[in-house]
Every structure is written in structure tokens, then in C-alpha cells.
Amino acid sequence: MVSLYTSVKALPLLVAGALATASLPTKPADLTTPVQQRIAVHGPNTISIGWNTYEKLDRPCVQYGLSRFALFERACSTSSITYPTSRTWANSVALTGLFPATTYYYKIVSSNSTVEQFFSPRMPGDKTPFAMNAIIDLGVYGADGYTIQMDMSKRDTIPFISPSMNHTTISRLAETINDYEFIIHPGDMGYADDWGMVPADIDDSQNAYQAILEQFFDQLAPIAGRKPYMASPGNHESACQEPVGDCPNGQRNFTDFMTRFGNTLPTAFESTSHNFEAKVNANKAKLLAKPPFWYSFEYGMVHVTMLDTETDFADAPDIPGGPSGLDSGPFGAPNQQLQFLEADLAAVDRKITPWVIVAGHRPWYSTGGPGCLPCQAAFEGLFYKYGVDLAVFGHVHNSQRFMPVFNSTADPAGMNNPKAPMYIVAGGAGNIEGLSDVGSNLSFNAFAYADDYSYPTIKFLDPNNMQIDFFRSSTGELLDRSKLYKAHKHQFTVQ
Ligand SMILES: *[C@@H]1O[C@H](CO)[C@@H](O)[C@H](O)[C@H]1NC(C)=O
Ligand SMILES: *[C@@H]1O[C@H](CO)[C@@H](O)[C@H](O)[C@H]1NC(C)=O
Ligand SMILES: *[C@@H]1O[C@H](CO)[C@@H](O)[C@H](O)[C@H]1NC(C)=O
Ligand SMILES: *[C@@H]1O[C@H](CO)[C@@H](O)[C@H](O)[C@H]1NC(C)=O
Ligand SMILES: *[C@@H]1O[C@H](CO)[C@@H](O)[C@H](O)[C@H]1NC(C)=O
């Protein structure tokens, strides 16, 4: 957000003469040790396993199976990639042909790794209720990030979270690990580009940026290594400093984000619809998808489309010469992202996946001032036309919920079968910049909270009912509950 610009410029004056030490994590003696694990839904029966190592692997491999003691399957790849200024290599392997909705155990092949577990994706069309979490604007904790006090007794040990960890949202995600099946994180992950806000890092920008990335993805690993972690870009993934400043080349233009997630996130899926046009559109969407920037996946009764609000549409904020000064992209051909979105939404067969959720970083509906108007101009019409049920954004550091709305006018049906999408802002997960005031109101706002870190759980109850619960991360207190009813009468929605 904007305040950072002044912080970066002001800090060197405060710390003139201070000794710089970026807190790079200690390299393990065994360089094959997996770090920064993250998994993702990669296809209808496929989970991808991503992890980093402090050396290049010739042949990254994962063993897996239905019991912790019978890891008889093995999948390998040759994908071990890095970029200048990174100390680590990003490895990825796809586990294909999995039984749906089944607990698997896996071990990244290394002389120093442990057995982890995941739940394989539900088949598109499985109408079993489930929940997903939306976490945006998360941030690193500890000396390089934001730390807050919390009650030690509330800390969960499964999966293991380091006792020094004071990040209430990651702790809550660990404590409730059995209550949700995957996480979406559209943008602003570790805030490594905020290294300038930590006085100790000020003279060592190149290492400070890498140190925060390494720490953050280590901190996230207990969650992201067990639950599919579906990411898309935010402004803080763009470069090592905002505006771009003197970042070395390896730290510009979403390089770490692409290296880390480019091979683990999916393209659009093949359609399982019997409708010919749906198959054609799904195939078109598959060709136009550009993971990790824009892509979609299906999971049970939900179709989720992840978007890039930073580059790749008219007047996008992070493009060369754009208002954020981030000098990034484009990543596709002109209009590719919007053509993808249209083909992708047109392909959704509501008999298979009645719910359609779209997620991106920058909102256009937000309390406290105007949101991203070029984003609204690019995307809102398509959301409405194809009957998107819920749009999830962040960027503004708090939690907000809006009544279904189109073109800044509330849908008269409210939460009872509206034609317009419902919108939420889920940017209150926690980061070094702190929370944003709720600020000025919009008439169709129904809830806004900025007193502590918080996040929403989105529950798909059945093909017609969805429930959103916002929780306070530090206590688990329920802050807001809403239910959306959608008839989903038509196999294909075009309005
Ligand atoms: C093995 O991995 C653990 C954590 O995963 C790490 O703390 C330890 O240093 C590693 N051991 C060696 C010999 O690299
Ligand atoms: C985390 O919280 C505990 C207990 O509130 C405190 O003692 C510790 O210093 C905190 N750690 C960090 C890194 O802030
Ligand atoms: C960013 O990367 C993309 C893809 O690698 C490239 O096409 C584009 O020109 C780059 N943009 C800038 C500003 O360097
Ligand atoms: C949006 O609302 C404005 C007036 O508030 C109107 O001029 C415009 O035509 C509307 N656009 C659409 C797509 O309905
Ligand atoms: C904004 O206004 C609406 C309608 O008057 C109200 O329901 C809502 O609580 C308000 N939100 C805030 C954050 O004040």
C-alpha cells in the first residue's frame, strides 16, 4: 500500500550508521533437505508437490501411498529451477492418477525428510459439503515482520508450528487444519519487498529480500505442505521494492513468484460436461490460462478462477509506466487474460459445479476509498454476465463483506438468489504494514472489521447454499456469518 513508499525513504535516516544483518535462515548441512513445501491442486486427480532445496536436484522425486508405512508409489521430474540472487532451487513433482477425496501420505525423497499427508481433490461434481479458507496479505512474522503476543496454550502442534511463531492467522489455520480442504491466497504473501521497514536490513537489500522470502515460505510450510495452497499474484510479489527502485534483475517482474509457483499451479481443467460447447470453451480456457497468474480449477461442487489484478488488462496497476511503479508484465498476449476469463466462465456447467468463485488481489468494492477502477472496468462485466456467485479480493488490510452488487448498485434480491455477485475483502490476515482503517462506508457494505487479524472460511453447504464465516485469528471468535442462496437453475448462466 501507499504508506510504504514513505517508510522506505524515511528509514535510512533513522538508522544511519547501523550495522546490517539480513536474517538468512541457516542452510541445512544436508543440502537435499526439503524446505518451503507447498502443494496444489494440479488437475482432477492430481496434486503437485513443490519444495525448495539449497542445491539443484537432478531428479526431484516424491514417494507416496495410502499409508504412512507403505509409500510404494514414486513420481519424479527434472524440474529444479532458480534465478540470480536466490539461494535455493524450486522443485516440483506432480502426483497423477490419485483416488479422489482420499488421504495420502508422501515423503519428498531426500536423506533428510519426513512423511507428510494430504487429502486428494474431490472430483468435479462431488456434492459433499466442504470449506475453503481465503487468506490474503499474510506477511512474515518474527524479527523481519510483524509480531504479536498470543496465548501459548492455544498453539496447535499438528502440524508442527515453531513455538517462536506468533502469527495468529497461521496458528489458527494449523489449529483448524481439519475444518477446511484447501486455501486460496490471491496475492501479497511474505511482504519480502518491505525489507526496508526493518532497520537492521537496510544496508543489505538483496539478502534482506531473499531472507524474508525464505523465512516466510518456511513458516507457511506446515500449512501449505498439507493443504493445497492456491496462489495468484499481488503487488508485493512484483519486485523487491515498491516502487521498483534498484532491485537486481532476479528480483523484478514476479521472478520469485513465477519460479516458485509456475510449475505447481494448474491450467483450466478439461470439461466433464456432456455439452459440446462447454468442452470447446474449457479447452480454449486451458490454452489461454497462464499459471501462476491466471488459471482455474474445479473441486467438488465449486469452480474457482484465480486472476491477476496486477498486469495484463487495460491500465493494469503494475505494468511498465503504471501507477504502482512496479514495471512488470505483461505475461500473456494482449487481452489473453480476459479471453481466458470469458472462455473459462462460459465453460462452467452448473450441474457439475454449481458454485463459481473468482479471486484476485485488488478489489473495486472496498470501504475507505476507491478500489481498483481499471480492474472493475476489465472484470466486473464478465463476472455478472456469467453469474459468478462470489468474488474474493484483498489488498486492503481488513475484512469486509458486501451485499451482491453490480455497477455499484445493490442487487434488489439481496442474498436470496441475486443475479449479481457477492464480494468480500479478505485482506486482514496479518502483515508488517498492519491493518487498514475501515474508513468511509459504502451503502451495500454489510460488515467491516479492522480491530485484529481475521480471515474468512467459505463453506459450500450444498448446490444452493453457501456460508461465509469471518473469524478473528487470535481467538477464533466468529465475527460475521452470512448465507447466500442461489437457485442455480440453469445449466449454463449467461445474463
Ligand atoms: C534435517 O532437517 C531439519 C529440518 O527439516 C533441519 O533442522 C536439520 O538441520 C537437517 N539436518 C541436516 C543434517 O541437514
Ligand atoms: C511470541 O510471543 C511470546 C509470548 O507472548 C513472547 O514471549 C515472544 O517473545 C514472542 N516472539 C516473537 C518472535 O515475537
Ligand atoms: C516480465 O516477464 C515477462 C515474461 O517473462 C516478459 O514478457 C515481460 O516483458 C517482462 N516485463 C518486464 C517489464 O521486464
Ligand atoms: C453503470 O451505472 C452508470 C450510472 O451509475 C450507467 O451510466 C452505466 O450505463 C451503467 N453500466 C452498466 C454496464 O450497466
Ligand atoms: C455501512 O452501511 C450499512 C448500511 O447502512 C450498514 O449496514 C453497515 O453496517 C455499515 N458498515 C460499516 C462498516 O459501518
Contacts with 322 (C-beta within 8 Å, 6 or more apart), sequence order:
315, 316
Provide the grid cell at 185. Answer: 491466497
* Residue 463 burial by Cβ neighbours in a 10 Å radius (0-12, 13-18, 19+): middle
With a 6 Å cutoff on the Cβ, whether 164 touches ligand 2 is yes
How do 422-426 and 390-393 pair as beta strands?
Answer: parallel
At 112, phi and psi to the nearest 5? -145, 65
* Residue 467 burial by Cβ neighbours in a 10 Å radius (0-12, 13-18, 19+): middle
Q: What is the pTM of this model?
A: 0.92
Which CATH number does the domain 130-485 belong to among 3.30.360.10, 3.60.21.10, 3.40.630.10, 3.40.50.620? 3.60.21.10
Provide the grid cell at 456. Answer: 474468512
What are the pocket residues of ligand 5 if the criterion is a CB atom closer than 6 Å to any ligand atom?
367, 438, 441, 443, 445-446, 448
- Cα of 407 vs centre of ligand 4, distance in Å, is 6
> What separation in angstroms does the CA of 419 have from each of 338, 380, 387, 469?
21, 13, 6, 22
Contacts with 28 (C-beta within 8 Å, 6 or more apart), sequence order:
35, 54, 112
With a 6 Å cutoff on the Cβ, whether 100 touches ligand 2 is no
| Ligand 3, atom 11: closest residue by C-alpha | 329
CA-based end-to-end distance of the chain: 35
DSSP secondary-structure letter at 9? H
Contacts with 279 (C-beta within 8 Å, 6 or more apart), sequence order:
270, 271, 273, 347
- Homologous superfamily (CATH) of 35-119 is Purple acid phosphatase-like, N-terminal (2.60.40.380)
What pLDDT is recorded for position 474?
A: 87
Sign of CA dihedral 318, 319, 323, 326: positive
Residue 322 and residue 242 in contact, taking contact as beta carbons nearer than 8 Å: no
Q: For the residues of 146-159, what is the DSSP string, one character each?
A: ------GGG--TTT
pLDDT tens string for the chain (495 positions)?
333 333 333 333 333 334 456 788 999 999 999 999 999 999 999 999 999 999 999 999 999 999 999 999 999 999 999 999 999 999 999 999 999 999 999 999 999 999 999 999 999 999 999 999 999 999 887 666 654 433 333 222 233 444 445 578 988 898 899 999 999 999 999 999 988 877 667 778 788 899 999 999 998 998 999 999 999 999 999 999 988 888 888 899 999 999 999 999 999 999 999 999 999 999 999 999 999 999 999 999 999 999 999 999 999 999 999 999 999 999 999 999 999 999 999 999 999 999 999 999 999 999 998 899 999 999 999 999 999 999 999 999 999 999 999 999 999 999 999 999 999 999 999 888 888 889 999 999 999 999 988 999 999 999 999 999 999 998 999 999 999 999 999 999 999
- Cα of 430 vs centre of ligand 1, distance in Å, is 28
Instruction: Using alpha carbons only, give the angle 8, 432, 186 rounded to the nearest 5 degrees.
Output: 105
Provide the grid cell at 150. Answer: 498470543
Report the phi/psi class of residue 287: left, alpha or beta, with left for phi > 0 and alpha for psi in -120 to 50.
Answer: alpha
> What separation in angstroms does the CA of 255 have from each of 23, 92, 435?
21, 16, 27
* Measured distance CA(412)–CA(279) in Å, rounded: 34
- Amino acid at the residue 37: Q
Report the phi/psi class of residue 301: left, alpha or beta, with left for phi > 0 and alpha for psi in -120 to 50.
Answer: alpha
Q: Where are the domains of the chain?
A: 35-119, 130-485
| Ligand positioned closest to the Cα atom of 150 | 2
* Measured distance CA(314)–CA(312) in Å, rounded: 7
Mutation test of ligand 3: which of 294, 324, 328 has the most ligand atoms closer than 8 Å to its C-beta?
328
Mutation test of ligand 3: which of 253, 308, 326 has the most ligand atoms closer than 8 Å to its C-beta?
253
Mutation test of ligand 5: which of 399, 401, 415, 441 has the most ligand atoms closer than 8 Å to its C-beta?
441
Q: Which of 478, 471, 435 lies closest to 456, judged by CA?
A: 471
Q: Which residues of 38-51 are buried (b: 16+ CB within 10 A; e: fewer)?
A: bbbbbbbebbbbbb
The alpha carbon of residue 164 and the mean position of all alpha carbons in its chain are separated, in whole angstroms, by: 24
Q: For the residues of 276-293, what is the DSSP string, one character each?
A: HHHHHHHHHHHHH-BTTT
| Ligand 2, atom 4: closest residue by C-alpha | 149
Secondary structure of 207-232 as H, E, C letters:
HHHHHHHHHHHHHHHHHHCCCCEEEE
| Ligand 1, atom 6: closest residue by C-alpha | 28
